[in-house]
Amino acid sequence: MKNPLFIKVHETINNRLERGEYKPGEKLPSIRSLATELNVHRLTVFKAYQLLKENGKVEVKDKSGYYAKGESSILTDLDYPIVTSYIHKSHLSEIHRVHVEFQFSQAVIDPDLLPNQYTSSSAKKVLDLYPKVLSTYSTVQGDRELRESLANYFYEKQKQYITADDVLITTGSQQAIDLIARTFVRNGDHVLIERPTYSPAIDMFRELGARLLPVNITPDGYDMEQLEQFMKEKKPVLFYLNPTFQNPTGYTVPDNQRKQLANLAEKYRVFILEDDPFRDIYFEKKPPLPLFTYDVHGYCLYVRSFSKYIAPGLRISAILCRQPLMEQLLASKSLADNGTPLLNQKMFLHYYASERLQKHIEKLRIALELRKAAMESALEGEDFYWETPDGGLNLWVQIPDSIRMEELLAACLEQSLSFVPGTICDPLKEKENWIRLSYSYLNEKKIVKGIQLFKDILSSLK
Amino acid sequence: MKNPLFIKVHETINNRLERGEYKPGEKLPSIRSLATELNVHRLTVFKAYQLLKENGKVEVKDKSGYYAKGESSILTDLDYPIVTSYIHKSHLSEIHRVHVEFQFSQAVIDPDLLPNQYTSSSAKKVLDLYPKVLSTYSTVQGDRELRESLANYFYEKQKQYITADDVLITTGSQQAIDLIARTFVRNGDHVLIERPTYSPAIDMFRELGARLLPVNITPDGYDMEQLEQFMKEKKPVLFYLNPTFQNPTGYTVPDNQRKQLANLAEKYRVFILEDDPFRDIYFEKKPPLPLFTYDVHGYCLYVRSFSKYIAPGLRISAILCRQPLMEQLLASKSLADNGTPLLNQKMFLHYYASERLQKHIEKLRIALELRKAAMESALEGEDFYWETPDGGLNLWVQIPDSIRMEELLAACLEQSLSFVPGTICDPLKEKENWIRLSYSYLNEKKIVKGIQLFKDILSSLK
């Protein structure tokens, strides 16, 4: 922690180099202009450039300035030691920061598919119903009325025998996963993670210094022998999984594996972090019950997000788990933000408990299935491979081997089209010729136009 | 991380023992009943009890069961090594979980003092103004419109030359402090902290494995020599401070010390985390400018909470800092929750930018000053000592040495009155005969009645 400022400036420039903002051979900003931009002393920038030079990232040419060196890359090595958060980069959020016309990278639902007028008027009713809701804090665990309502919901829909005490309300599922990770994972712990997986989870566990054990997910689920082997030998503390319409693949882990996993978790004392954001977005038939339903020993922490398809602006998710774990999570939640805003919880409660919600979800399923179909037919006729998902928001598509992914991503972003490169979703940073395309944000017409553009860009790179 | 379940059960029981739920000599629940309550196997409870026995916390009597041993205590040792989060306890939040009639422990503002009708109708207008606000995610950094508005506000009110890029919106100031701590503090780092201080900050830095260096705060500010000595010798990474109407003391650090500190921070490369939640709650004259205003080198991270006295239900706060630090914070915020709910930001923006707000704050100042006066005159005539604060929500009161604090707290909670014991606010866990009394939650009548009850309880213990 010596010299924090120049190390931070160093990281800022290094991030830009890795993002490809400065191409190899390109001249970097002068020390003076960078000092002005970053609001630091020129000496600080000088030191940062010196460090970049030592690390072979930049070179000095004839005293005319600093130039970017080597290849640009958004990838890091799996085994790169996580020593400080300065080297942490949430890759996915960096792609999302680019505004594009053809947005296939974010698995979010088109606001036009959501019943905005109805949610607004429902929200207004909440303001009348609880006149002091804007002046009142929530408890750390969350509004009891909402937790009781959710406990009923989970009992009815998913055969989960829980009470309001087993429910913790969080500000979105990202927070839920983060809370669980920071509560139960320590530096050096082994963590099982699907391959590929939700990319911010990789960043998060790495940030905590975890050692990741990748478990392949296929259309048939996991290799259960490999999984048990890992549990036996490496004694992982936790398995992070998203077994239903998995992100990014769309695959669903079969029922029998869920039961097996619940038993393995108990046998090897491994916590199960079951992330379940897409359960309600099924197309033909309902998915298997959550793994949590089969967990009788209290090893499973179930994260359920609703707000993605109900009211993303509210950011309401829930963690379900048994008592001894809940106590620990409450301590973390108390430090993290002292409780999710009460307003959002009450608004969610009243909207989600309404009849209108069920109708909305039914319509939404149809709309999303149509968009998926539009994307699938637009993709046809090329050398692509994918499995049709039974639910969720994404296609996981294999593209020809010959394409260099970084080049493709750069070309697409330049032409205002975004996708998620498979490497980002892979704890091993391989999966070079896979990409995730979300069909939830654009309407059919735009999807068709965008996929055509994508094909054109791809052809131009062959 | 072996045997996680029984260790967790152990912690659950241990927490109850420390909270005094089981008194010394009292019989603990049977293994069978605890197993049912915690939904774990009986063997797990058995192992947990064995561990408690080994640690001298419980004893076995004639095979009739387990009994609590020794003294109950809510205190822990400063040097207790933080190895896992299981031992983490947010003491303050535990006191807050108890519902009492005379609530002097939480520094929150009486909802009746807040303009609930106006905030509600302002909130409804926001729903009309942004019809898709409930369906839209915020960016990680926060709504640009709000950040620009805040940048103007800080420029006009506090002479802080910042842009929207230097502002990060958080879900309350607890999250702001937590984000900064997890981004910049690593296991083993030294952290300067005021003594006494905001108690969750102690928990938070300990949870990260920081070594705390307590800096006394007095009505005249800090001992600047001691502070510089610490910086020189211990090379702390950060100083967490709340220099304006400090929590819990109400003291304000003078202007000249703020300027000095900004320079020391640069000289010794120490980050300054300036927590400033009470700035607008002054009684006679405005407080000195924030330390951040004097920071030209980019070492200060300024945390400003508004929502406490504007609309606590919204939970909106802001971090101000310069670019290289902001990049790191954004990565953490992205992992923590991907951005504060947009709805809350827009509602805050429109209410806080209204003329009505200024009028509200003026009235609020008067109301709080009256409550403070009511509490002060009710306290008179006993052997109490306190400094009259010029702002904020708390009195920091010295009570007679002869009183045993734990006994007092237990007796008060039993009679439905709560306060914060000074030990909780002290990184050294001393300050045995100091307490924090908040005058912001109850009206004058209740304050007078509650303080009388407090005096009666105190007399009964003498």
Q: What's CA A8's distance to the chain center, in Å?
A: 26
Backbone Cα Rg of chain B: 23
| Mean pLDDT to the nearest integer, A263-282 | 96
One-letter identity of residue B198 = Y
Residue A25 lies in a domain: yes
Stretch B373-399: mean pLDDT: 95
Q: What is the DSSP letter of B166?
A: G
Tokens of B21: 């739920």
Closest chain A CA to residue B178: A336
Going by pLDDT thresholds of 50, 70 and 90, the confidence category of residue B19 is low
Same domain flag for A242 and A267? yes
**Cβ-nearest to A335 among B131, B178, B335:** B178
Q: Among B31-35, B128-132, B288-292, B337-341, whose mean pLDDT is lowest?
A: B31-35
Q: What is the pLDDT of residue B89?
A: 42
**Residue at B209 is within a domain:** yes
- Label residue A76 by pLDDT band (50, 70, 90): very low
Could you tell me if B335 and B413 lie in one domain? Answer: no
Q: Which residues contact A414 (CB under 8 A, 6 or more apart)?
A: none
Lowest pLDDT segment from A11-25, A128-142, A205-219:
A11-25
pLDDT reading at B60 higher than 80:
no
Kindly report the three-state secondary structure assignment for every residue of chain A: CCCHHHHHHHHHHHHHHHHCCCCCCCECCCHHHHHHHHCCCHHHHHHHHHHHHHCCCEEECCCCCEEECCCCCCCCCCCCCCCCHHHCCCHHHHHHHCCCCEECCCCCCCHHHCCHHHHHHHHHHHHHHCCCHHHCCCCCCCCHHHHHHHHHHHHHHHCCCCCHHHEEEECHHHHHHHHHHHHHCCCCCEEEEEECCCHHHHHHHHHCCCEEEEEECECCECCHHHHHHHHHHHCCCEEEECCCCCCCCCCCCCHHHHHHHHHHHHHHCCEEEEECCCCCCECCCCCCCCHHHHCCCCCEEEEEECHHHHCCCCCCEEEECCHHHHHHHHHHHHHHCCCCCHHHHHHHHHHHCCHHHHHHHHHHHHHHHHHHHHHHHHHCCCCCECCCCCECCEEEEECCCCCCHHHHHHHHHHCCEECEEHHHHCCCCCCCCEEEEECCCCCHHHHHHHHHHHHHHHHHHC
**Residue A181, C-beta contacts closer than 8 angstroms, at least 6 positions apart:** A201, A204, A205, A208, A210, A238, A273
Mean pLDDT of chain B: 87
Residues A27 and A63 sit within 8 Å (Cβ to Cβ): no
Q: Is A325 on the interface with B (CB under 8 A)?
A: yes
Q: Tally A–B CB contacts below 8 A.
A: 264
CA B377/CA B424 separation, integer angstroms: 26
In a mutational test of the B interface, the residue from A2, A7, A165, A337 whose CB has the highest number of chain B CBs within 10 Å is A337
- The whole-number average pLDDT for the span A437-447 is 97
**Residue range B324-334: average pLDDT?**
93
Is there a domain that residue A88 lies in? no
Q: Are B142 and B339 in contact (CB under 8 A)?
A: yes
* End-of-domain residue from the set A302, A326, A354: A354
Query: What contacts B21, CB < 8 A, 6 or more positions away?
Result: none
* Residue A292 structure tokens: 């949590």
Confidence of residue A64 (pLDDT cuts 50, 70, 90): low
Q: Which of B135, B234, B273 to mutate to test the interface with A (most CBs of A within 10 A)?
A: B135
Q: How many H-runs (helices) and E-runs (strands) does chain B carry?
A: 18, 14
Cβ atoms of residues A17 and A57 within 8 Å? yes
> Hey, are the CB atoms on A116 and B93 less than 8 Å from each other?
no
Please check whether residues B295 and B387 belong to one and the same domain: no
B154 strand-pairing partners: none
Q: Which of B9, B313, B327 sits opposite A341 (nearest CB)?
A: B313
Co-location of B336 and B386 in the same domain: no
CA dihedral B446, B451, B456, B460 (to 10 degrees): 130
Closest CA–CA distance from residue A183 to any residue of chain B (Å): 6
| A46 vs B270, more confident | B270
Structural domain containing residue A236: 114-354
Query: pLDDT grade, residue B82 (50/70/90)?
Result: very low
Regarding whether B237 and B363 lie in a shared domain, the answer is no
Cα B242 from Cα B240, distance rounded (Å): 7
- Looking at per-residue confidence, does A45 or A277 come out higher? A277
Peptide bond into A248 cis (omega under 30): yes
Same domain (yes/no): A121, A145: yes
The single-letter DSSP state of residue B416 is T
Residue A318, both tokens: 């829930």
B90 touches chain A (CB under 8 A): yes
Contact B199, B420 (CB under 8 A): yes
**Per-residue pLDDT at A20:** 63
DSSP letter for B57, please.
S
* Angle separating helix axes B342-352 and B355-379, nearest 10 degrees: 90
Least-confidence region, from A141-145, B127-131, B428-432: B428-432
Considering the domain architecture, whether residues B210 and B162 belong to the same structural domain is answered as yes
Task: Identify all chain A residues contacting B90, using CB atoms and an 8 Å cutoff.
Answer: 331, 334-335
Length of chain A, please? Answer: 462
Q: Is A62 in the same domain as A103?
A: no
Mean pLDDT comparison of A50-64, A197-211, A215-229, A421-435, highest-scoring range: A215-229
- How sure is the predictor about B24, in pLDDT bands with cuts at 50, 70 and 90? confident
Pairing mode, strands A167-170 and A317-320: antiparallel
Which tokens go with A248?
A: 């990014």
Distance CA A292, CA A299 (A): 9
pLDDT in the model for residue B63: 59
- Regarding whether A381 and A366 lie in a shared domain, the answer is yes
Is position B88 within any domain?
A: no
**Cα–Cα nearest to A231, from A259, A201, A190:** A190
Residue A57 · residue A69 · CB < 8 Å? yes
Q: Which residues of B touch A232 (CB under 8 A)?
A: none
Q: What distance in Å separates the CA atoms of residue B129 and residue B124, rounded to the nearest whole number?
A: 9
Q: Would A85 be classed as within a structural domain?
A: no
CATH code for the domain in which residue A52 is found: 1.10.10.10
CB contact under 8 A, A183 and B331: no
For residue B175, the chain A residue with the least C-alpha distance is A337
What pLDDT, in 10s, does the model give residues A387-404?
A: 999 999 999 999 998 899
- Integer Cα distance of A460 and A160 in angstroms: 52
Question: Shortest CB distance from B314 goes to which of A38, A134, A182?
Answer: A134
Q: What is the pLDDT, as a whole number, of residue B85?
A: 26
B337 with A171: Cβ contact below 8 A? yes
Check if A124 contacts B (Cβ < 8 Å).
yes
> pLDDT category, B37, cuts 50, 70, 90?
confident
CA distance A291 to A295: 7
Q: What are phi and psi of A361, to 5 degrees?
A: -65, -40
Question: Is residue A34 a contact partner of residue B324, using CB atoms and an 8 Å limit?
Answer: no
Q: What is the pLDDT of residues A13-50, one digit of tens each?
A: 887 777 666 767 777 887 877 887 777 777 778 778 87
pLDDT band at residue B90 using 50, 70 and 90 as cut-offs: very low
Residues of B with Cβ-Cβ distance to A330 under 8 angstroms: 93
Rounded CA-CA distance B371/B396 in Å is 15
DSSP 8-state assignment for residue B152: H
φ, ψ of residue B114 to 5 degrees: the values are -100, 145
- Residue A255 maps to a domain: yes
In this structure, are strands A211-216 and A190-195 parallel, antiparallel, or unpaired? parallel
Mean pLDDT of B133-145: 92
**CA distances in angstroms from A333 to A142, A303, A329, B328, listed in the order given:** 10, 14, 6, 22
Instruction: Compute the nearest-CA separation of B435 from chain A (Å).
Output: 22
Which residues lie across from B318 on neighbouring strands? Answer: B169, B304
Of A354, A377, A412, the domain-final residue: A354
Q: How confident is the model at residue A62 (pLDDT cuts 50, 70, 90)?
A: low
Q: Which of A21, A44, A134 to mutate to test the interface with B (most CBs of B within 10 A)?
A: A134
**Do B245 and B143 meet the contact criterion of CB atoms below 8 Å apart?**
no
Q: For chain A, give the percent of residues with pLDDT over 90.
A: 62
* Residues of chain A contacting residue B136, judged by C-beta atoms under 8 Å apart: 111, 312-313
| B-chain residues near A108 (CB < 8 A) | 137
Question: Inter-axis angle of helices A144-158 and A342-352, to 10 degrees?
Answer: 40
Number of compact structural domains in chain A: 3
**Residues B268 and B185 grouped into a single domain:** yes
Nearest-by-Cβ selection for B89 from A120, A172, A331: A331
Is residue B143 within 8 Å of residue B349, measured between CB atoms? yes
What does the pLDDT look like over A154-185, one tens digit per residue? 998 888 889 999 999 999 999 999 999 999 99
What is the structure's pLDDT at A93? 64
**B255, HSE (Cβ side, Cα atoms, 13 Å):** 4
The answer to the question of residue A418 being in a domain is yes
Rounded Cα–Cα distance for residues A443 and A422 (Å): 24
* B172, pLDDT greater than 80: yes
Q: Omega before B290 cis (within 30°)?
A: no
As a whole number, the mean pLDDT across chain A is 87
DSSP state of B290: P
Contacts of A237 in chain B (CB under 8 A): 1, 4
**B324: contact with A, CB 8 A cutoff:** yes
Per-residue pLDDT tens digits for A332-378: 999 999 999 999 999 999 988 788 888 899 999 999 999 999 999 99
Dihedral (CA of B204, B210, B216, B219) sign: negative
CATH of the domain at A163: 3.40.640.10
User: Quick check: B20 pLDDT over 70?
Assistant: no
Residues A23 and A137 in one domain: no
Domain harbouring B441, CATH code: 3.90.1150.10
Determine the residue of chain A that is closest to B126 in CA distance: A120
| A107 shares its domain with A249 | no
Interface test mutation site (partner B, options A1, A98, A113, A235, max chain B beta carbons within 10 A): A1
Angle (nearest 5°) at CA A447 between A445 and A453: 110
Q: Please report whether residue B85 resides in a domain.
A: no
Given a cut of 60, is residue A88 above it in pLDDT?
no
Nearest to B338 among A172, A325, A341 (CB): A172
DSSP character for B201? H
Comparison of pLDDT for B306 and B243, the residue scoring more:
B243
